[in-house]
A and B are shown apart, each in its own frame.
Chain A
Amino acid sequence: MSRGALKTGKRMRLGRQPGEVLDRGRQFVFTWNGEKYPAFGGDTIVSALAAAGERIFSRSFKYHRPRGLLTASFLDPGCNVQVGDEPNVRGAHRKVEPHMAASAQNAWPSLRFDVKSANRYLGRFLPPGFYYKTFMEPRRLWPFYEKVLQRFAGGGKASPDAPHGYYDKRYAHPDVVVGGGGPAGMAAAVAAAEAGARVMLVEEEHETGGHLRWGDEEDLAALGGLREEVARNSSIEVMTDSVVTGRYDDNWISVAQRGLSHVEERLIKARAKVLVAAPGLIERPYVFEGNDLPGVILSTAARRLINLYAVKPGERAVVLTANAAGDATIDDLERAGVEVARIEDARNGGDIVRVRGGKSVREVECGDGARIECDLVVTATGWTAPTSLLNMAGDRPVYSPRAARFFPTELPEDGVLATGGLAGDGSLDELLVHARATGKEAARRAARIGAALRAGIPQTVDAEETPDDSPVPVPELPVHEHPELFRGRTHGIVDYSEDVSSKDLVAAVKEGYDSSELAKRYTTATMGPTQGKLETVNAVAVVAEATGRSMEKTGTTTWRPPYAPITLGALAGRNFEPVRHSPMQPWHERNGAELMVAGTWIRPDHYGDPEAEVRNVRKNVGVIDVTPLGKLDLRGPDVPELLNLLYVNKWSDLKVGKVRYGVMCAEDGVILDDGVNGRLGPEHYLMTTTSSGAANVLEWIEDWLQTYRPDWRIHVTPVTDAYASINIAGPNSRELLSQIADGVDLSAESFPYMNVRTGIVAGVEGCFMWRIGFTGELSYEIHVPAAYGLYAWETLLERGADLGIKPFGVEAQRILRLEKGHFIVGQDTDALTQGFGAGISWAIKLDKEDFVGKPELMWQGERDGYFRLVGLQPHDGSVVPPEASQIVEGKTIAGRITSSRFSPTLGRSICLGFVAPHLTTPGTKVIVQLPDGERIPASVTPHHAHYDPEGTRQRG
């Protein structure tokens, strides 16, 4: 058959079925491994392929055995396929789209002829954990062995060019979330809605209905009725192709919503009052030799294929049934024209010993020794309760030998209920009665929980009436007997995704990995894409059998979220990372600024030539946008008390109009932040902090005021964003400011260094003008109400044109401040630098009654062994040691460079750094080790400042 032609193969498509989900009016073509196949609307990838007679969809993880469909649901372990750039698509759940390109994930060169299937013959030599026992020597070959192991890593392919796609999130506040849209879930949702609750009904499949969808006429009629009831209730929000992925503390529920046309996957975060878990039951495979051959399927798979997708699963079948669902499957098979060659009834001692075949089922050996030729084996040997969401709520499931499955115990949480198969068995009517009662009770509890939450909100409105508090009686469901069928007489696959057999588990137990947890970790059983739903109970049974303990004693492994896999995209949603700009940002962007990320701020690093910017500041005048500087407005009579408490220095004598520099330490004496404070009025101060410390300092102050001295009368208001801040620095700065400022006498006598004034700048009232240092030149820092920031900035640049004004950025400021020896907290200090280490002993007033850091600073002052911050001058001024270069004495580290730049003003490199106590004397020679290994000499300078240490230029 040519590659271009449509693959029709053996037509396994049946005529129209009463419950089918196909849209026969929509026919189209898709490709599988490069070949074209037909499909109907509503087909899944695997149902369309099965209709065309395909049976092999993947190769198993370790042994590369051919795998077909097993469950025909989302969970089907052999049906993970690659679609375009999307790996691990659940082929038995994902609907086919026209032109979709699907391919097998784990086979080379092709699905039919997979070279690595040679592994299956090595099975006996490659038990689980074989890699722990070998590949150890010679050691240098380990990377090579690893590459070999990686070749066998299963799964699809991630692509570096895959587009991110659109994902978003939604918050919801439903009264009741019902996880599971089968008959029990639907009935519970309706009952809850009729009792007044807002309900969210979440169903994993593409339609609601659960097992009713592939049932008989009666089931379909009941399904129709339930769907009508749901549709009639507008307070039920129905989400299909969606799944509750987690129940977290206080009923924080996560839902992955798929099937939206414009969103790849949406994460819904719901603070539900009550969760009703109604996930139904998952059919469990039977363990026997050959149980993973293509053609061995579960009864629910057969019924889905026939009734939902109109696909005949095979020609001639052997059925092993232990329950009513299995019996009903026989009817469906016969209706679909499958020859049922033999029925083994496990309730009467029937059994399947082994299945033989190469790439597909060929022959079954039954319990009585009979060998039947067939191409299809259908098993119905029991159910697994997916208790995961209940476990996340604290429930510990308990095994019931009578029902051969686990049940939840006492649900510990008020806000979590269970109904449907999780809670018990019974006829459809019995299950619906239980579900309706559960739904009604859920609504009642939700109302009560809601009232309690609202009562917790302080308000002046009268408290509402507590709603009626008598619980709705929920009848107990019967628990039917079911034969315990986990493993037959031979060994077979337990975990299909991980290729772990019952023999592997027994071997692990024998080697001492004899608890559920250890056996799981050793063999990796339950750690694959099916998350344990299909394999955990069988694994527990095998471990129990091998240890001789009961299943109750063996217990299960812990169920962990997410309940179903969810994309990273949905978890991430849209990337909301706020960015902060000053009002002058548009000017910077228009004028050649190289921008930098500084925490949450974006600001100019430089405008092309930082060294020229430095020279201009020292020669003429420069302006820098320092809006990110932290600013706090402090008002009240007790402000000096606060300053005295939080800073190491004294504040009580600070007069109106004066400014003082201060350092804040933490309770362990470590330097926290620094800045200048100005007194604007008798009870009005303005505090500045570092820009990165602004938020922390505010919370620090609030902590002390609220929890330590709530009696102090102080108001604190953050005004960082309320003012645009501009630093004007250079010999011409007074001249420049005089041209745009009003209402303030700018003469040196009236407005000396370390003072603050309020006045008019560029016609804007209520501006602050500070005379402070940082660059070492005559400078003024002006704070303009933010709305006028850009205007003030542009006015300055205009008026300063004749004075040689140029903007300068963070880099130039770094150089300027380093020339003046000003340390930067967090760069020239670290998380262990206590006050005296930074050279601020002049500021530390130990005679104050109390201040934060006092005890530790006192003790630091009494000892000597701490490193100190000093100025350092490399002997060769043309070498600029990178910051963090280490200072060494032989092989011992004796300090490091914390700040380092080439100084355009001095024409040589300058540094600050920490040195060991015995090296602090000015003039001491130290050795700096550069990153390339070269060692250079440097000397300790007398001051931190390399330029104008007396500060004459800034005091003028």
Chain B
Amino acid sequence: MILISCPHCGPRNASEFRYAGEASARPDPNATTPEEWRAYLYTKSNPAGWTTEKWFHGTGCRRYFTVERHTITNEVRETRLPTARLEGSS
């Protein structure tokens, strides 16, 4: 059971949170093409290594925040408050 450090609440059991997906930049819906939009919806980097993603502290402060986690060791090196629809993915 990994520990995740919520920026508001500190280190808590992962079961208090919900994983909300890999970070990705939302294209301008009025200036996009079907290929670009669907790449945003479906394609992932899915790295075996450090990734930037979104988590939600459901049974805690109920805030979304950004996490940098290593997908092999599950080490979390940083958690921070979200920026508006993050630029790019790692």
Contact = CB atoms under 8 A, between A and B. Distances in A.
Q: Do chains A and B touch in the complex (CB under 8 A)?
A: yes
Interface of A: 248-250, 252, 269, 271, 394, 453-454, 456-458, 667-668, 699, 702-703, 706-710, 849-850, 854-856, 859
Contacts of B41: 667-668
Interface string B59-90: 00011100000000110000000111100000
Contacts of B11: 453, 456-457
Contact of A457 (B9, B30, B82): B9
Contacts of B26: 708
A859 B32 CA distance: 11
A849 B64 contact: no
A456 B5 CA distance: 7
B72 to A, nearest CB: 11
How big is the B interface, by class?
20 to 34
Given A457-B10, A703-B20, A706-B64, A249 B1 contact: yes
22 contacts: A249-B2, A250-B1, A250-B3, A252-B1, A269-B1, A271-B1, A271-B3, A454-B10, A457-B9, A457-B10, A458-B9, A668-B41, A702-B63, A703-B20, A703-B64, A707-B54, A707-B64, A708-B26, A850-B29, A850-B30, A855-B32, A856-B37
A703 B56 contact: yes
Contact of B62 (A702, A709, A855, A859): A702
Contacts of B85: 707-708
Contact of B63 (A252, A458, A706): A706
A859 B1 CA distance: 43
Given A699-B56, A708-B85, A709-B84, A855 B64 contact: no
Contacts of A854: 29-30
Contacts of A250: 1-3, 74
A456 B34 contact: no
A708 B63 CA distance: 13
> Which 5 pairs, one residue from A and one from B, show the smallest C-beta to C-beta distance?
A457-B10, A252-B1, A707-B82, A249-B2, A250-B3
Nearest to B7: A458
A709 B84 CA distance: 7
Contacts of A708: 26, 84-85
A68 B31 CA distance: 78
A710 B41 CA distance: 22
A667 B36 CA distance: 13
B56 to A, nearest CB: 7
A706 B82 contact: yes
A249 B64 contact: no
Nearest to A706: B64
B52 to A, nearest CB: 13
A29 B63 CA distance: 63
Given A457-B9, A707-B64, A850-B29, A248 B84 contact: no
B44 interface: no
B58 interface: yes
Contacts of A394: 73
Given A458-B9, A854-B29, A854-B30, 5 more contacts: A248-B1, A249-B1, A250-B3, A454-B10, A708-B26
Interface in B9-32: 9-11, 13, 18, 20, 26, 29-30, 32
Given A250-B1, A703-B20, A710 B10 contact: no
B74 A249 contact: yes
Nearest to A850: B29
Contacts of B29: 850, 854-855
Contacts of A849: 30
A456 B18 CA distance: 20
B7 to A, nearest CB: 7
A454 B84 CA distance: 29
Contacts of A702: 56, 62-64
Of the candidates B11, B26, B74, the one having the most CB atoms from chain A within 10 angstroms of its own CB is: B11
